[in-house]
């Protein structure tokens, strides 16, 4: 049997790689097990860019975690020299009473975050690529921007390895069990023991964490890249903002400036228009009718963007009924197992602070960060999709960035 570790981390995507870094930085003997290779594209932590923002319309309770995440992303860039974050400014667009606008404004006011409110003419003047309707407004936040998911995962893995973590790729866990005062983890290659286990399963949560009692839904989502009709210059970061845009029917899209040169165009995607899938059955092919649907939608909001379709990619969101996260000590194994899952498509911006939280919980059993919203025993996390609906405090739809 292999040597005993202090902590075994299952899954080395966004959250698991951050956990491995923060645990090993505190001197823990860490084993990381990953089903695929390093920085893979089979889950959710890929696609070249993710939005980061602070005026958080999902719930003001997230803001303290975001502020800490911003600090940790800066630390990560300094420690590794990697390109991680670009704060180019962004707008949350919609009617004044839309969730995207009103929720963002609520968080900005509650936490005294710098922001501006723009009417439609001002949006058009400042950002000529955007064509809002006359009754639409935007919250502009200079601190909004984008993150590089692949670079973020690679940076956390780099630091974890530098700090002595033992990271095994292409070695999936087959099962685990309580063992003495800790856990025993089995793979096809070996059996490992540790005092603690951290499980970051991504889209595999419905299979690996059934005993949490949370009805996770895995959704197939598509990201698209277009070459703008008039070239990328109007869509460069100094001219074109990150945006989340909710139309009158409640449909949301999000998009980015062109950040990777003329051959890569600008990225855009729908929120919450995916379909249920599993990691084993996901359709990785993007179909013509999907490209047509996003192009038709964009033609009324960013009319120069859907010029030439360049490429598309799929990813998966693992969603809870109330679309809030699950981060906690496992209720059935509180002394040995910590879980982080159900990030519902808006989790990547929290990656480094989630890693910090997981290290806290695994090593000390508690954290100073506010994570009460993420308790798997909360009633809203256990609603079924067969007719139950969340309350106004836990909306059923939201931006997934």
Question: Binding site membership for FAD: which residues?
Answer: 6-36
- Let me know how many helices (H) and strands (E) the chain has, helices first: 8, 20
Pairing of strands 242-246, 90-94: parallel
The tokens describing 68, both together, are 């800490």
Decide: 187 and 33 in contact? Cβ < 8 Å. Answer: yes
Please tell me the distance from the alpha carbon of residue 303 to that of residue 311, in angstroms, as a whole number.
18
Total Cβ atoms within 10 A of residue 370: 13
Decide: 30 and 23 in contact? Cβ < 8 Å. Answer: yes
Please tell me the distance from the alpha carbon of residue 105 to that of residue 283, in angstroms, as a whole number.
37
- Nearest by Cα to 322 from 269, 270, 375, 397: 397
Please tell me the distance from the alpha carbon of residue 221 to that of residue 277, in angstroms, as a whole number.
10
Reported as type and span, the H/E element at residue 154 is helix 149-162
The binding site comprises: 6-36
Secondary structure letter of residue 212 according to DSSP: G
Decide: 225 and 298 in contact? Cβ < 8 Å. Answer: no
E strands along 250-377, which residues? Answer: 252-255, 266-270, 275-276, 308-319, 326-329, 337-341
Phi, psi of 72 (to 5 degrees): -70, -35
The tokens describing 228, both together, are 């703008």
Taking CA atoms, 69 is separated from 25, 37, 72, 338, in Å, by: 17, 26, 5, 20
Decide: 185 and 10 in contact? Cβ < 8 Å. Answer: yes
Phi, psi of 130 (to 5 degrees): -100, 140
Phi, psi of 199 (to 5 degrees): -115, 115
């Amino acid at each position: 049997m292999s040597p005993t570790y202090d902590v075994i981390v299952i899954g080395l995507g966004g959250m698991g790689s951050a956990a491995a870094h923060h645990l090993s930085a505190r001197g823990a003997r860490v084993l990381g097990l990953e089903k695929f290779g390093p920085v893979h594209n089979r889950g959710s932590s890929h696609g070249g860019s993710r939005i980061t923002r602070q005026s958080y319309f999902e719930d003001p309770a997230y803001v303290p975690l975001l502020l800490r995440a911003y600090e940790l992303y800066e630390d990560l860039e300094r420690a590794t020299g990697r390109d991680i974050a670009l704060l180019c400014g962004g707008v949350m667009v919609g009617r004044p009473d839309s969730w995207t606008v009103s929720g963002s404004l609520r968080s900005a006011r509650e936490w005294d975050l710098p922001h501006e409110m723009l009417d439609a003419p001002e949006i058009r003047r400042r950002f000529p690529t955007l064509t809002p309707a006359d009754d639409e407004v935007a919250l502009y936040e200079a601190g909004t921007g984008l993150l590089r998911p692949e670079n973020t995962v690679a940076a956390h893995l780099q630091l974890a390895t530098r700090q002595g973590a033992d990271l095994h790729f292409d070695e999936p866990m087959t099962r685990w069990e309580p063992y003495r005062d800790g856990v025993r983890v089995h793979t096809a290659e070996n059996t490992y023991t540790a005092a603690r286990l951290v499980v970051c399963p991504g889209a595999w949560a419905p299979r690996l964490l059934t005993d949490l009692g949370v009805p996770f839904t895995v959704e197939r989502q598509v990201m698209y890249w277009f070459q703008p009709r008039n070239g990328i210059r109007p869509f460069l970061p100094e001219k074109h903002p990150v945006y989340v845009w909710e139309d009158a029917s409640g449909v949301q899209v999000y998009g980015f400036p062109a950040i990777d040169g003329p051959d890569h165009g600008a990225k855009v995607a729908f929120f919450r228009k995916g379909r249920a899938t599993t990691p084993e059955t996901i359709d990785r092919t993007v179909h013509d009718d999907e490209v047509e649907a996003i192009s038709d939608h964009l033609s009324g909001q960013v009319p120069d963007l859907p010029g030439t379709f360049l490429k598309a990619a799929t990813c998966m969101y693992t969603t809870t009924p109330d679309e809030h996260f699950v981060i906690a000590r496992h209720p059935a194994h509180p002394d040995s197992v910590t879980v982080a899952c159900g990030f519902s498509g808006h989790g990547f911006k929290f990656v480094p602070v989630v890693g910090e939280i997981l290290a806290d919980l695994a090593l000390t059993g508690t954290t100073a960060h506010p994570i009460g919203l993420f308790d798997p025993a909360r009633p809203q996390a256990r609603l079924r999709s067969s007719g139950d609906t969340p309350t106004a405090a836990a909306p059923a739809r939201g931006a997934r960035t």
